[in-house]
């Protein structure tokens, strides 16, 4: 059976890497970004497999463990999505992607959905459709303890490592063009470069560098939050509305059981320990805390406005008899 699957994958330009239980893991070949029509939700259900693009080297969000099994926060969600849409976690077919190839893999229909720590940006939203968010993130900078970078100014005259196609690359290119960027295609390459001194610091999502520093003695995150607070969300090919709606419905329904807090406990807490409050990272039901606070503030403002209006009316009502008495006196 595995030989037949391998033959089919190779015939379609996709190289198989391994089979994990019932879930198929593949590594898709890059064909230059050719566009193709995405599969509809009905086609995915008929096929019985949903193709999910994930990272293989971004611990603890998407990575391959010592047993060759793919693990992580995004993987945990991907398996649940497959189970609820198709009936079994084994119906998830994970495809390894790189940061710079995430958009292309959707546009060329190599995958149905991306769950690869994909930060929502305006530029990306012009090319793909993002579902509701399930995580919050900002940028962070990790560096050696003996030459710790604590401020962006400390990067003057230094080399900053980034991964191509990430928000870190965009942020520093746009805001600090004088900082020398050393760019790599893969996260493991970037970390290896930091370890062997080919760069003075590395910037990517703060959630990741905090986890990496926990596991690598001699390194610390001197800048824990840089830039805007962004969100991480699933993405599908532009216009794949039925699948997008299904994912949004899934994220909303999972809020009832606080699924992403469970995901955090299973996949992230073993790495972070008690150093990170899950509420600072996790998003339930697609609603970011700031949105909830904004809604509460709007509601409070409305109540204050209504109360002020009632007070004004009461004051006007109280003053009317005085005006009448004055008129009578005249």
In the CATH scheme, what is the code of domain 2-134+233-290?
3.40.190.10
**What pLDDT is attached to residue 7?**
39
Sequential pLDDT tens for the chain (330 residues) = 433 433 333 333 444 433 443 444 444 434 444 579 999 999 999 999 999 999 999 999 999 999 999 999 999 999 999 999 999 999 999 999 999 999 999 999 999 999 999 999 999 999 999 999 999 999 999 999 999 999 999 999 999 999 999 999 999 999 999 999 999 999 999 999 999 999 999 999 999 999 999 999 999 999 999 998 999 999 999 999 999 999 999 999 999 999 999 999 999 999 998 888 999 999 999 999 754 444 444 444 445 445 444 554 454 444 444 444 433 333
Q: Which residues contact 190 (CB under 8 A, 6 or more apart)?
A: 161, 162, 163, 184, 202, 204
What was the pLDDT predicted at 276? Answer: 86
The pLDDT value recorded for residue 200 is 98
Neighbours of 40 (CB within 10 A): 14
122 φ/ψ angles, rounded to the nearest 5 degrees: -60, -40
pLDDT value, residue 149: 98
Tokens 């899950």, located at residue: 278
User: Do 2-134+233-290 and 137-230 have matching folds?
Assistant: yes
pTM: predicted TM-score of the whole model, two decimal places: 0.74
> Which pLDDT belongs to residue 289?
73
Residue 299's pLDDT is 46
Q: What residues does each domain of the chain span?
A: 2-134+233-290, 137-230
Residue 290's pLDDT is 54
Residue 294 has what pLDDT?
43
Between the two ends of the chain, the Cα-to-Cα distance in Å is 105
CA–CA separation, 326 and 315 (whole Å): 17
Report pLDDT for 329. 34
**For 137-230, which CATH superfamily applies?**
Periplasmic binding protein-like II (3.40.190.10)
Q: Which two tokens stand for residue 223?
A: 């800048």
- Decide: residue 4, CB within 10 A, 0-12 exposed, 13-18 middle, 19+ buried: exposed
What whole-number distance in Å separates Cα of residue 29 and Cα of residue 26?
A: 10
Is 91 in a helix, a strand, or coil?
helix
Tokens 């995915």 sit at which residue?
44
């Amino acid at each position: 059976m595995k030989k037949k699957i391998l033959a089919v994958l190779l015939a379609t330009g996709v190289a198989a890497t391994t089979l994990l239980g019932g879930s198929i893991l593949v590594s898709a070949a890059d064909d230059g970004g050719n566009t193709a029509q995405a599969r509809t939700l009905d086609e995915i259900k008929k096929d019985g497999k949903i193709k999910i693009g994930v990272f293989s080297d971004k611990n603890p969000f998407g990575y391959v463990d010592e047993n060759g099994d793919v693990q992580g926060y995004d993987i945990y969600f991907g398996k649940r999505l497959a189970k609820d849409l198709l009936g079994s976690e084994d119906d998830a077919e994970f495809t390894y992607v790189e940061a710079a190839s995430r958009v292309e893999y959707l546009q060329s229909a190599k995958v149905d959905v991306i769950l690869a720590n994909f930060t929502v940006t305006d530029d990306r939203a012009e090319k793909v459709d993002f579902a509701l968010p399930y995580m919050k993130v900002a940028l962070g900078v990790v560096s050696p303890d003996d030459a710790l970078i604590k401020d962006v100014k400390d990067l003057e005259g230094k080399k900053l490592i980034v991964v191509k196609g990430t928000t870190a690359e965009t942020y520093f290119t746009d805001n600090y063009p004088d900082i020398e960027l050393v760019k790599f295609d893969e996260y493991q390459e970037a970390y290896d470069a930091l370890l062997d001194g080919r760069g003075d610091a590395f910037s990517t999502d703060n959630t990741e560098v905090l986890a990496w520093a926990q596991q690598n003695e001699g390194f610390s995150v001197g800048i824990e939050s840089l830039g805007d607070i962004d969100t991480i969300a699933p993405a599908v090919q532009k216009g794949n509305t039925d699948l997008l709606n299904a994912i949004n419905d899934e994220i909303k329904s999972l809020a009832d059981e606080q699924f992403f807090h469970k995901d955090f406990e299973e996949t992230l807490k073993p790495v972070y320990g008690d150093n990170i409050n899950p509420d600072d990272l996790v998003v339930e039901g697609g609603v970011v805390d700031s949105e909830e606070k904004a809604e509460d503030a709007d509601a409070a403002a409305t109540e204050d406005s209504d109360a002020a209006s009632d007070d004004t009316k009461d004051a006007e009502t109280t003053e009317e008899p005085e005006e009448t008495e004055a008129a009578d006196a005249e």
